[in-house]
Amino acid sequence: GENVEQHPSTLSVQEGDSAVIKCTYSDSASNYFPWYKQELGKRPQLIIDIRSNVGEKKDQRIAVTLNKTAKHFSLHITETQPEDSAVYFCAAKETGGGNKLTFGTGTQLKVEL
Amino acid sequence: KAGVTQTPRYLIKTRGQQVTLSCSPISGHRSVSWYQQTPGQGLQFLFEYFSETQRNKGNFPGRFSGRQFSNSRSEMNVSTLELGDSALYLCASSLSGQTYEQYFGPGTRLTVT
């Protein structure tokens, strides 16, 4: 089955700096890669996603890049703000098999003033 | 549209008991997936239901079961509870089998004593 590794486990940046979180996946057949943000005590919130036929997607300060050859994808947050502080999860969905998502272990992002 | 809802939000049970959790998807969504979230194991897929049929199942023992009703509401049941079943149980809904975006409910916090 699919295996997703996520790094780093914790990330501390200064407000206004950029943050990058990286994930690798094992199943080359995976075709959908979402990112979720989970604030303390709240539900995971879908913030951006990318499909395997696209190399990059951007939404305001957030972007995701996908390298299918290397089987890795990354989340980029620019101009970080204190409200970006949360745990971020990457995930991968295998082709077929319904909507099963395999998640990375999460990255605790802290944006310091 | 109203988001995904889950009931109850908090639950305390004793070892050996059983529990039923409920999930109401976003109106019009037909796919419901269940995930277990723990500090040690992260987010792990339990199963997915689509049109009242289990379409996929994760690596959990048979004590974990679920079902989906004709209105797409879903329930999951855990029998013979163990201490290790203490976790946040999240459900996520998706529009259809071909729409990958999943939206999470607030979760049910289960504590087994």
Residue A49 to residue B48, Cβ atoms within 8 A:
no
pLDDT in tens, A41-54: 999 999 999 998 88
Q: Do B42 and A104 touch (CB under 8 A)?
A: yes
CB pair distance less than 8 Å for A98 and B103: no
pLDDT at A58 over 90: yes
Structure confidence at residue B1 (pLDDT): 73
Residues of chain B contacting residue A39, judged by C-beta atoms under 8 Å apart: none
Mean of the per-residue pLDDT values of chain A: 95
Is A111 in the B-facing interface, judged by CB distances under 8 Å? no
User: In the beta sheet, which residues pair with residue B42?
Assistant: B38
For B80-89, write each residue's pLDDT tens digit. Answer: 999 999 999 9
Percent of chain A having pLDDT more than 70?
99
Write the pLDDT tens digit of every residue in A62-73: 999 999 999 999
* DSSP per-residue codes, chain A: ---EEEE-SEEEEETTS-EEEEEEES-TT--EEEEEEE-TTS--EEEEEEETT-SEEEETTEEEEEETTTTEEEEEE-S--GGG-EEEEEEEE-SSSTT-EEE---EEEEEE-
C-alpha distances in angstroms, A41 versus A91, B60, B108? 20, 25, 11
Instruction: Inform me whether the C-beta atom of residue A58 falls under 8 Å from chain B C-beta atoms.
Output: no
